[in-house]
Each structure stands twice: as C-alpha cells, then as structure tokens.
A and B are shown apart, each in its own frame.
Chain A
Amino acid sequence: MSPGRNGFDGSDGNGAPLAAASDHVRDELVRFVRALRRAGVEVPANAGVTAGRGLADVGLDDPDRVRVALRASLVADARDRPTFERLFEAFWRRLGAGPDAADAAGWTDDGPDGGLASFGAEPAASESGEGGEGDEDERDETLAERHVGAVVGRETAAADGDGATTARYSPNGRRTAVSAARADHEFGTAFDALTKSLATLSGRRWRAGGDERPDVRRALRASVATGGTVAELPRRRRTRSELRACLLVDVSRSVLDVVDRSFLLEFLRHAHEAWREARVFFFDDDLREVTSAFDAPDERALDALSRAETEWGGGTRIGGSFARLHERASDAVSRDSVVFVVSDGLEMGDVETLEREAAWLSRRARAVFWLNPLAASPEFEPTARGMAAALPYLDGLFAFAGPDDLAELARQLDRQGRHGRIGYEYDPRRVEATDERRNTS
C-alpha cells in the first residue's frame, strides 16, 4: 500500500496548494458524512475521523480505493450501500473539482442542513435514476416509524385470478369502534404463563445449576459435610425471564371482522409493557410500525388511534408486508426474538413471496408463531393459500380468540417445548369437539 498523503499530511498529490487542498478534502468529507446522515444512513459518531484517517492512508489517486476506505469507515449496514454509492459519485466529483470550483459554484456550507441541499440535486442522482429528494422522501416513509394516523391501505381489487376467487370470511363486515378492555385476572395469568414459557433472555435473578458462575455459598455449605473439603464446585446461572418479540398484526377487513379487537389490543399492550422489547407492526397491503402508539397507558393509546381515524380493513398482501419488514426493519427480528403473526392467512398477493419471506423469518427468529382467529373453530383447517404456504415455516399455528388460547399456547409450550408436537391440532378443546361431532353423527 502506498500511503498517498493527499491533502492531509505533507505531500500534495494534486498539485494544489497543500493547505487549501487539505481543507477542501476535509470540508468535502464532512459534507459527505452529513449528506449520508441526511439520507438516512446510520453513520457512527466518530466515523468521519476514521474516514479521514482511511483517506490519508489510501490516498486520493484511485477512486475505487477511496470508495472502499470510506465505505469501510462510514457504512455499518449493508442496506445503506446503494445510498452510499449514489452520494459517493457526487462527493468524488466535487473533490476533483477543487476548492476554487466549489467556491465558484456557490457550494457553501451553511450548517447541517443547508450545505448539503445540493447533494440531492446533483446530476449523479438523476443519472442513477434516483432523485435525491425523492429518495429521502421514500426513506422517510419507510424507515422512520410512522404513526397510526397514516392510512393503512384501501381495499385493493385482487387483479390475479387466484385472488379473485379467494373466499372472504365476512365480505359485508363493517369497521367498528375499538373499545378498551381492562385486563382481567384470567388474561394476566395466561399472559404471564406465555411469557414464562417463551422467555429468551436472561433476567437478573440467579438460580442453581447451569455453568455461568461458581456458587460459593452452596460450595461452602456442602463442604461442611466433607470436613471442609470441597468435593465439587456447584455453579449457578441466571433465570430466563425476559422476552424479545416482534408482533405482526394483520389489520385487513377479513381479520378485523372475526378477531376480538379488545383482546388483540390488550395482548399488544401487555406485550409492549411486560416484555423487554416488543415491536408492533400493522399490515394489510403494506406494513408500518406502530410501536409508539402503545407507549401511552391504557385509554390514551386507544384515544390516539381513534383520533387518528385509522383506516383499517383493506386487502391483504402478507408476503409483500413481510418483504417490507425484511427490507426496511429486519433488525426487529433477531435470533433471540419470537415472532407472532396475527392473521387469518388470506393472501391476496403473491404466495411465492410469502413463502420466501416466511422462510426468512423462520431462519432469522428464535421462533415464529401464527395466531389465527379462525383456528378457534373446531372445523378450521389451514387451507387458505397464504396459511398453507406459510405453515411449513412455522413453529406453531394456534387459535387467537381469547385468553384461553394464550393459556393453551403456554401450556403446550411448557409440556412439549418449541420443537414438540404443538399447534391448533393438539388443542384438547378441538379434539373434544371433534369427538363429540363423531359421536353425534
């Protein structure tokens, strides 16, 4: 590696006066970092300094090496690379133009916002087919958490033949007001049992066993029986009591017509309050995060929903919504998080997309549970296109009509574990109802 010291520490690779060149490179680097941040790239706090050192090391002769050095310093998330590439072109052009050209063109830095306005309007942006501002708008709409006040989506006519022939469970269903329900004892018990059975993270309490730390107290107590000799060193571990979850809630009309909305909201609010992290997303033909709507206690969250006049009840593109999660908020799902999908599985979009994204969810999450309000019926079978496509990638499909279903989910997990024979088909209530039907017929 030939340390090109252009503009930084001694030699001058461009023939421009050293100080001016150095200032110019520094200025453009600062602008570039700001432009990245404005475009939504999460640039680490001191990355500009690292980038400067990187530039000093690789020099300014070869744009490809400059690109690599800056990318390694500034882009912590691979999804930000396209934005980086687009803005880098502008940065490189301006760097090559020199400080005089910058002054002549009126490229002045008037603070964090003003100085970078021209970045988005650079020819490079349009050449690449992405308008700078448009890009930013798009990011704002997709990356930033949107409030529930946004319109979720209107009924979209299913253009494909499959969608057109898909049965709808309540074509005449109307949107109804959402009412708050107080958490009763039954719900609380069921919810606590579910949390306990699914806990993925260590809490603060210690218990005997495991291999995290020596249990000195038990060792001393045991040594009394052996004349002060410690025959073996017992150890202890932290209890698992915390849960991280991602909740994907289908708010299309077919779901809202059959689900108990009060129960649904109670479940979401409890999850938000009790679990270490619970990110909530609503989806129908698009997906948006609504976690912040559950920050307010009780009625205030619902008041906010009412005031926002949320339009619930469009068609459903489950696969497309999962793809949006994958693309824009994949950090909501991690190895130590449990994903809950609340949906009836009626897919109006592309089933292959749903299959692909369900596979991704399955790979990425600790567990994926599908909570289907329709599964509470003893006659239920997962024959809906979306439900059938997603089924192989689920850890379990369960009913979701009331606290009893949560309790049943927790009971099965406790007895069988995540990898055991669990799901709606092993629900004793269903088995009982099926036997009754057989006897009567």
Chain B
Amino acid sequence: MSERPTGFTETTEAEVRAAFDATGYVADDEIVTTTALSLRLGKPLLVEGEPGAGKTELAKVLANGFDTDLVRLQCYEGLTAESALYEWNYTKQLLSVQTADTGGGPGEGVDGPGSAGGADPSVFTEEYLLERPLLRALRADGDRPPVLLIDEVDRADEEFEALLLEVLSEFQVTIPELGTVRASTPPAVVITSNRTRGLSDALKRRCLFLHVEPPSFEKERAILERRVPELDTAVAAELCAAVGRLREEPLLKPPGAAETIDWARAVAVLRDGSDEPLDPETVRTTLGCLLKEVEDVERVDDDLLGSLLAAATEVDA
C-alpha cells in the first residue's frame, strides 16, 4: 500500500470528531481513533458489521465533514473492471471513425472540426474515455483528495478483489492506450463489508479494521436525538427499547440503526410531536419501516406486539 501523503496525514482526532458531530453521526472513541489513524497512516479502512450499523454513513460523513467529494463504488456480483475503472466510449469511437472515413478527415471528431484533438486521428484519447469510480478517485484534482467508498466489497467476486488490490497498492492504474494514471494525492479509502464471505488475506493486509457493533440502547437513543430531533425524547427511548426487544427475535432481516431512524421519523410524523406513550396501533401501522420481509412482519402477532410495548413501558418506568 502506498505510503505517500494522502492529504489527510495531518488530520487530528479532534477534526475527525468534529466532522462526525457536524453531520450528526454518533461515534464512540474507537471509531474516531481508528478513522483518524487510517487517515494519518494512509491506509484503507475496512469497516465490517451488521447491515444498517452505519458503515456506509461513516464514509459519507467523512466526505461531508472534510468538505470533499465522495466517490462511491457500489459492489455487486459480477462487477467488472470496466464498470469500476474505465471504459472506452465505443459508440463515439465508431462514429468518429466513420466520420473520418466519409470525408470528415482525420482529427475532425463527431463534435465538429478539431474536437478530436487536431492532428491526432486516434480514437483512444481522453475524449473517448469514460471514467468509472476508481479512476475518478485517482484523478480527482480538488483542494483535498476525495473519499473513495467501496461499498459492500463482499458482494463482488474474488477476481474483482484482485483488481482492487492492484489499484489500492500504488494508487495508480495503467491504461494501455494512454499510459499510467497516478493519483497526485491518494484518496481516503473506506471499504465496507457485511461479512457475507471472507475477504482475501491480501486485501486485509492492506487495511486497518473497524468492527461496527450493533448500536446499544444508549447509542441508538443518541442517534435518534441527533437525527430525529422532532421526536419526543421519551418516545425515542421507547422506540429504542422496542427495537432492542425485536432484535431478540429470529428475524430474517433484523432492523439496523438505519431502520430505527426511518421508524422514528414515521412515528414522529404520525404523532405530530405528541409525548404520549407508544400505542399498539402506531407500532402496527409503522412496522413496515422497521421490517422489510413479509415473514418478519407476520411474526409480529399480538403476543409479540404486547412484548414490544412492555419493553417500551419498562423504559418509562
């Protein structure tokens, strides 16, 4: 992994904390210190944890907090180098070649005379290059390097992981027709994983690790206070208790912090600032914000609903 300055080498923990605070991201000391260390050492940060724990959000708030661009690469099964790195605009190339063949003359591109760079008849130039996220992150020319978010890397294939290693090792990529593109200041890299498959040792070796635990009751309540300020504090505590109780059930998709925020917003809108305790009707009608699987919603029968409300009541007590 590159040891060159990343534009973040002088970042202090206080700055990282301020960035989190400014965007309402509740982060404990471990998250702050590890993130700061990753920025200072110029190492990618591999964030693992359950879905909805705030892994992706971490990268977003980092970009917001440091007032720089966020370049996001969402991984998926079958993701290829063309989709992640760069691609040639084949259609434009073909049109350009045909234009030249039919009398347009070399160097007269599809956009008019001189558009293809004057005397260069090649169709493998910047003009025909389509930047994809990884290349965009390497070529960014802002005051500060961007934050590159490689989201859910475990969804991609091992072959793509190998490509990623190549790029992250030197923060450069060679395009045969153009030459080597090297980042003047490498981006800050955040890689997230849901641990649906093991990652290669080579990738792990290049990263610092951060395990984001499911939020505790207190942390979740603090998240709601920051993210849903319109919700009454007591009601927020009730929601957190109910969600905690719900997570004890064997659900197909247990709700994460993101779902709790959605639920809290829905409840806040429905109750219009009321500080009355949660009622069964509100819980039942807003359950779709919390549970995304039909089987999970069906699991919430009257008994479980009573149990959720009991958990919420205990907080009040």
Assess the A72–B208 pair: CB atoms within 8 A: yes
A-B contact pairs, 17 of them (CB 8 A): A50-B41, A53-B41, A54-B41, A68-B29, A68-B37, A69-B33, A69-B34, A76-B204, A78-B49, A212-B78, A229-B98, A238-B78, A334-B197, A335-B155, A359-B250, A364-B196, A393-B252
B158's closest neighbor in chain A, by CB?
Answer: A201
Contacts A1-B36, A57-B37; A64 near B205 (Cβ below 8 A)? no
Assess the B197–A50 pair: CB atoms within 8 A: no
A363's closest neighbor in chain B, by CB?
Answer: B252
Question: CB-defined interface of A3-46 with B at 8 Å, one 1/0 digit per residue?
Answer: 00000000000000000000000000000000000000010111
Within 8 A of A (CB), among B168-219: 195-198, 201, 204-205, 208-211
User: Which of B91, B197, B201, B208 is the one whose CB lies under 8 Å from A336?
Assistant: B197
Q: Does A301 contact B (CB under 8 A)?
A: no
Contacts A47-B205, A359-B251, A362-B252; A64 near B29 (Cβ below 8 A)? yes
Nearest CB in chain A: distance from B78 CB, A: 7
A74's closest neighbor in chain B, by CB?
Answer: B209
Nearest CB in chain B: distance from A145 CB, A: 15
Contacts A1-B12, A68-B34, A214-B90; A45 near B155 (Cβ below 8 A)? no
Q: Does B60 contact A (CB under 8 A)?
A: no
B98's closest neighbor in chain A, by CB?
Answer: A229
Please give, as numbers and ranges, the residues of chain A lying within 8 Å of B253 by CB-CB distance: 363
A240's closest neighbor in chain B, by CB?
Answer: B78
User: Which of A1, A57, A335, A362 is the one whose CB lies under 8 Å from B197?
Assistant: A335
Assess the A50–B208 pair: CB atoms within 8 A: yes
Assess the B33–A65 pair: CB atoms within 8 A: yes
Assess the B198–A334 pair: CB atoms within 8 A: yes
Cα A199 to Cα B30 with chains together (Å): 41
Assess the B90–A72 pair: CB atoms within 8 A: no
A200's closest neighbor in chain B, by CB?
Answer: B77
Contacts A72-B208, A331-B197; A213 near B37 (Cβ below 8 A)? no
Cα A336 to Cα B157 with chains together (Å): 9
Nearest CB in chain B: distance from A335 CB, A: 4
Within 8 A of B (CB), among A193-234: 201-202, 212-214, 228-230, 233
Assess the A392–B90 pair: CB atoms within 8 A: no
Cα A124 to Cα B14 with chains together (Å): 33
Nearest CB in chain A: distance from B297 CB, A: 13
Nearest CB in chain B: distance from A429 CB, A: 29
Assess the A335–B252 pair: CB atoms within 8 A: no
User: Which of A81, A230, A337 is the one whose CB lies under 8 Å from B211?
Assistant: A81
Size category of the A interface is 35 or more
Cα A145 to Cα B314 with chains together (Å): 46
Q: Does B304 contact A (CB under 8 A)?
A: no
Contacts A68-B29, A202-B157, A335-B197; A54 near B205 (Cβ below 8 A)? no
Assess the A72–B295 pair: CB atoms within 8 A: no
Please give, as numbers and ranges, the residues of chain A lying within 8 Å of B14 by CB-CB distance: 1
Q: Does A71 contact B (CB under 8 A)?
A: yes
Q: Does B43 contact A (CB under 8 A)?
A: yes
Q: Does B259 contact A (CB under 8 A)?
A: no
Please give, as numbers and ranges, the residues of chain B lying within 8 Å of A330 by CB-CB distance: 195
Contacts A47-B205, A53-B41, A356-B250; A335 near B33 (Cβ below 8 A)? no
Within 8 A of A (CB), among B21-74: 29-30, 33-34, 36-38, 40-41, 43, 46, 48-49
Please give, as numbers and ranges, the residues of chain B lying within 8 Å of A81 by CB-CB distance: 211
Q: Does A75 contact B (CB under 8 A)?
A: yes
A73's closest neighbor in chain B, by CB?
Answer: B208
Cα A42 to Cα B205 with chains together (Å): 11
Cα A76 to Cα B49 with chains together (Å): 12
Q: Does B13 contact A (CB under 8 A)?
A: yes
Question: CB-defined interface of B84-114 with A at 8 Å, one 1/0 digit per residue?
Answer: 0000001100100010000000000000000
Please give, as numbers and ranges, the residues of chain A lying within 8 Å of B94 by CB-CB distance: 229-230
Please give, as numbers and ranges, the residues of chain A lying within 8 Å of B209 by CB-CB distance: 71-73, 75-76
Assess the A57–B29 pair: CB atoms within 8 A: no
Cα A62 to Cα B114 with chains together (Å): 63
Assess the A72–B210 pair: CB atoms within 8 A: yes
Cα A201 to Cα B46 with chains together (Å): 24
Assess the B30–A68 pair: CB atoms within 8 A: yes
